[in-house]
Amino acid sequence: MNKNDLFELTITDMGTDGEGIGHYDGMTFFVKDALIGDVITARAIKLKKNYGYARVEEIKSPSTFRVEPKCPLHRRCGGCQIQALSYDKQLEFKNEKVRNNIIRIGGFDADFVDQIMLPVVGMDAPYRYRNKAQFPVGKDKDGNIVTGFYAARTHSIIPVEDCLLGVKENEEILDIVKEWMTENSVEPYNEEKHEGLVRHILIRYGFTSKEIMVCLIINGKTLPHSKALCERLAMIEGMTSISYNVNTEKTNVILGKETECIWGQPYISDTIHLRTYPDFDETEIGIQYQISPQSFYQVNPEQTEKLYSTALEFAGLTGNESVWDLYCGIGTISLFLSQKAKQVYGVEIVPQAIEDAKNNAKLNCITNAEFFVGKAEEVLPEFYDKAGENESDMLRPDVIVVDPPRKGCDEKCLDTMLKMLPERIVYVSCDSATLARDLKILCEGGYELKKVQVFDQFAHSVHVETVCLLSKKL
Ligand code: SAH
Question: Could you report the per-residue pLDDT of 211-222, keeping only the tens digit for each?
Answer: 999 999 999 999
Stated pTM of the model: 0.93
Check whether 153 has a pLDDT greater than 80: no
One domain for residues 261 and 309: no
**Res. 438: pLDDT tops 60:** yes
**200 and 290, same domain (yes or no):** no
**Rounded Cα gap, residues 213 and 160, in angstroms:** 20
Q: How far is the CA of 289 from the centre of ligand 1 (A)?
A: 16
State in Å: Cα 411 to ligand 1 middle: 16
Q: What is the pLDDT of residue 264?
A: 98
154 has a pLDDT exceeding 90: no
More confident residue, 155 or 319: 319
> 266, 298, 326 — which closes off a domain?
266
In a domain, 108, yes or no: no
Tell me how many domains the chain contains: 3
Give residue 401 CA to ligand 1 midpoint distance, Å: 12
**In 3D, which of 214, 354, 372 has the Cα closest to residue 293?**
214
Residue 95 belongs to some domain of the structure: no
pLDDT score, position 388: 73
Residue 255 Cβ inside 6 Å of ligand 1? The answer reads: no
Are 279 and 307 found together in one domain? yes
Select from 44, 61, 78 the last residue of a domain.
61
pLDDT at residue 282 greater than cutoff 60: no
Question: Does 391 score more than 80 pLDDT?
Answer: no
Residue 51 placed within a domain: yes
Q: In terms of domains, do 259 and 153 share one?
A: yes
Ligand 1 center to 404 CA (angstroms): 5
Asked if residue 255 and residue 157 are part of one domain, the reply reads yes
Mean pLDDT across 367-389: 93
CATH number of the domain where residue 147 is located: 2.40.50.1070
The average pLDDT across 299-304 equals 95
pLDDT value of residue 300: 96
Q: What is the CATH number of the domain that holds 427?
A: 3.40.50.150
Residues 44 and 172 grouped into a single domain: no
More confident residue, 460 or 149: 460
Banded model confidence at residue 280, pLDDT cuts 50, 70, 90:
low
Could you tell me if 334 and 256 lie in one domain? no
Q: Is 72 inside a domain boundary? A: no
Q: What is the mean pLDDT of the chain?
A: 94
- pLDDT band at residue 277 under the 50/70/90 scheme: low
Whether residues 245 and 314 share a domain: the answer is no
Looking at the predicted structure, is the pLDDT value of residue 254 above 80?
yes
Residue 37 domain-assigned (yes or no): yes
Q: Using one digit for the tens of pLDDT, what is the confidence trace for 30-68? A: 999 999 999 999 999 999 999 999 999 999 999 999 999
* Domain range for 289: 271-472
Query: Do 366 and 413 belong together in one domain?
Result: yes
Domain presence at residue 339: yes
Q: Which of 7-21, 150-164, 430-444 has the lowest mean pLDDT?
A: 150-164
292/406 same-domain check: yes
Average pLDDT over residues 341-358: 96
Tell me, using a 6 A CB cutoff, whether residue 332 lines ligand 1. Answer: yes
Domain assignment present for residue 468? The answer is yes
In percent, the amount of the chain with pLDDT more than 90 equals: 88
pLDDT band for 362, please (50, 70, 90 cuts). very high
Quote the pLDDT of residue 283. Answer: 45
Here the CATH number for the domain that contains residue 31 is 2.40.50.140
Mean pLDDT of 311-334: 96
Ligand 1 nearest-atom number relative to CA 401? 1
pLDDT value of position 63: 97
pLDDT for the residue 219? 98
Domain boundary among 221, 250, 266: 266
Residues 180 and 322 in one domain: no
Does 105 reside within a domain? no
Mutate to test the pocket of ligand 1, among 310, 327, 352, 377 (most ligand atoms within 8 A of CB): 327
Give the percent of the chain with pLDDT over 70. Answer: 98
CB 138 within 8 A of CB 188: yes
- For 157-203, write each residue's pLDDT tens digit: 888 878 999 999 999 999 999 999 999 999 999 999 999 999 999 99
153 plus 294 within the same structural domain: no
Active site residues: 430
